Structures are given as structure tokens and as C-alpha cells.
Amino acid sequence: MKATLLRAAASAVIFVAGLTPVSRAEPADAAATVKEDATTAGHAVAHGAATAGHTVADRSREAGHTIAADTRTARDTVRDDSKKTGHAIAEGARNLGRSVRDGFRRLKAGVARKPNEPEPKS
């Protein structure tokens, strides 16, 4: 990018040098000419910098889209695998919960007295 800016500045100076007359000017006119030449050179450098910036931005955007497209399949694979793993973990937790619930029901049924048995006499 520096090389582009330097080339733009050099071409602006050469361009301005070609436009300025070779004849001698009065000191007041020389100041105006220098100011005008500097303004022209500054505009040329600014235009070159803007062009270089836009070029870099465009290439960066293209690279980003290329990377996103290339990683899409990996992203989809990871997402699908994660989803399958999550479902498997959830199913395992449900089965564990059912086992614990059934175990407590059997324990409660074994400990609780049966309604058709008489109460023990103490």
C-alpha cells in the first residue's frame, strides 16, 4: 500500500511539474502556483490512497467469503454431531430418571403396608 501511495505521489508531482510554465513568475504568483501545485498533488495522493483502500477492502471481502464457503461443511458437520450428542445425552438422562422413579416406586410399595393386611397389634 505504501508503494501505491508513493507511486501516486510521484505521478502527481510529475503531472504538476508538466503543467507549470517554465517562465519566471513574480514572487506573489510563485506562492499561488506553489499552493495550487500542492493542492493538486494532495488531491492526487488522496485519490490514490482511496483507490488502494477500496482495492484492499474488496480483496479482503472476497477472501472472507471464500473462507466462509470453505468452512461451511465443517461447521455443518460439527453442528450435526453436537445435536446428535445432545439428543443421546438427553435420552440417557430420561432413562436414568425413569429407572430411579421405578426403583423408588418399588421400594415404596415394598415398605408400605398393604391395605388388605390387618394392622399389627403392639
CA–CA dist 87, 109 (Å, integer)? 33
The answer to whether the predicted template modeling score (pTM) of the entire model surpasses 0.75 is no
pLDDT along the chain (122 residues), means of 10: 62 59 61 89 93 95 93 93 96 96 88 67 68
Q: How many residues does the chain have?
A: 122
Q: Which residues contact 33 (CB under 8 A, 6 or more apart)?
A: 20, 25
User: Nine-digit cell at 51?
Assistant: 483507490
At 110 the pLDDT is: 77
